[in-house]
A and B are shown apart, each in its own frame.
Chain A
Amino acid sequence: MQTSLSSSSSSDTKPEMKEHCDHRADCLKMIQLILDGEATEQQLAGVKANLESCKPCIEMYHLEQEVKELLTKRIEKRCCPEQLVATIKSRILTFS
């Protein structure tokens, strides 16, 4: 359930941007739900307009997205050593 903040049509006049957010902490929680794909349609509909017109929230959204990408794409994935796979397969053969 990913959503894009930059998807609003470019032909529309931009909505007036809010420079300050009175609900940063709550907005942040909602942003995380959205990026985790855990927000319901209802929750999405309720916050989408606000997220698109609130500057601090857009910045938080980009930060959360960036941090998530750092974790998924930049940290090296360790693969299981072949030797361990072989050991496990031979160990279970001795079970019964």
Chain B
Amino acid sequence: MATIHEVMSDTPTRDEDQLLPDGEPIEQPSADTPARGYTDEQKYRIFNKEFMPHIDSMYNFAFRLTTDEDDANDLVQDTYLKAFRFISSFEQGTNAKAWLFRILKNSFINDYRKKSKEPAKVDYQDVETTYNSEDAESEHTVDLRAESVSDLIGDEVATALNSLPVDFRTVIILCDIEGFTYEEMAKILDIPIGTVRSRLHRARNLLKEKLRDYASSMGYKEENEE
């Protein structure tokens, strides 16, 4: 019998390695990203020109993760202040959006997830029964027709999304709502691309099950009208 830890074994766990002594996430040091000696003027310019344009996407991501406006506010503010503090590890003109999303995701895991009510909301049983073996995962397809869900409204889709465990919710937000590539997602989440792909696949199966439940509870029938 798989435990929840095994089931969730592709959950990011490497974040501890990336903490400074004071607990701040930073970019992993690598040969091609040496710390940069920006002047104050350059820092403000990068911040305003490269970071601030993503603030709506960042807020939306924070809100979808926390499902709470106050938490989203705090998370976005913390993230932007961290981004400014660690701006020397950002290379001007590179992928600012992915860089910011990665900081936000790490802040969420390190600072918010622990104190959130997330565990109570997560339907572990559901994850466990559906995905307690590799076979079940790879052979699993959800029996559902496009017509059955096409009348769902935004709130219903959002509720279905919110009901997914946060790791699954995250990949769907990054891919389908924010349009990141698998490669960008791998960097944001610190996981291999293969894990991005399989987690996305599992997340979508779960989402479709939730949507199917919604659609049938709303009285949409699996009718073949043509």
Contact = CB atoms under 8 A, between A and B. Distances in A.
A binds B: yes
Interface of A: 24-25, 28-29, 32-33, 36-38, 59-60, 62-68, 70-72, 74-81, 84-85, 87-89, 91-92, 95-96
14 contacts: A28-B141, A28-B201, A32-B200, A37-B181, A67-B149, A67-B211, A70-B157, A75-B158, A78-B63, A79-B56, A79-B60, A80-B55, A88-B76, A92-B81
B141 A24 contact: yes
Interface stretch (B14-22, B95-103, B108-116, B171-179): B171-179
A65 to B, nearest CB: 7
Nearest to B135: A25
A28 B211 CA distance: 17
The CB with the most chain A CB atoms within 10 A, among B73, B146, B197, is that of B146
A74 B146 contact: no
**Main SS of chain A's interface residues?**
helix
Contacts of B55: 80, 85, 88
B72 interface: yes
Contact of A74 (B145, B154, B175): B154
Given A38-B182, A60-B141, A84-B59, 17 more contacts: A24-B141, A25-B139, A29-B197, A64-B204, A65-B146, A67-B208, A70-B149, A70-B152, A70-B157, A74-B157, A75-B154, A78-B59, A84-B77, A85-B52, A88-B76, A92-B80, A92-B81
A85 B138 CA distance: 44
> Which bucket holds chain B's interface residue count?
35 or more
Interface of B: 40, 44, 47, 52, 55-56, 58-60, 63-64, 72-73, 76-77, 80-81, 84-85, 138-141, 144-146, 149-150, 152-154, 157-158, 161, 172, 175-177, 181-182, 197, 200-201, 204, 207-208, 211
Contacts of B47: 92
A84 B161 contact: no
A72 B182 CA distance: 17
Nearest to A68: B176
- Kindly list the 10 A-B residue pairs having the minimum CB-CB distance in the complex, ordered from nearest: A80-B59, A66-B146, A74-B154, A62-B146, A71-B176, A63-B146, A78-B63, A80-B55, A70-B157, A92-B84
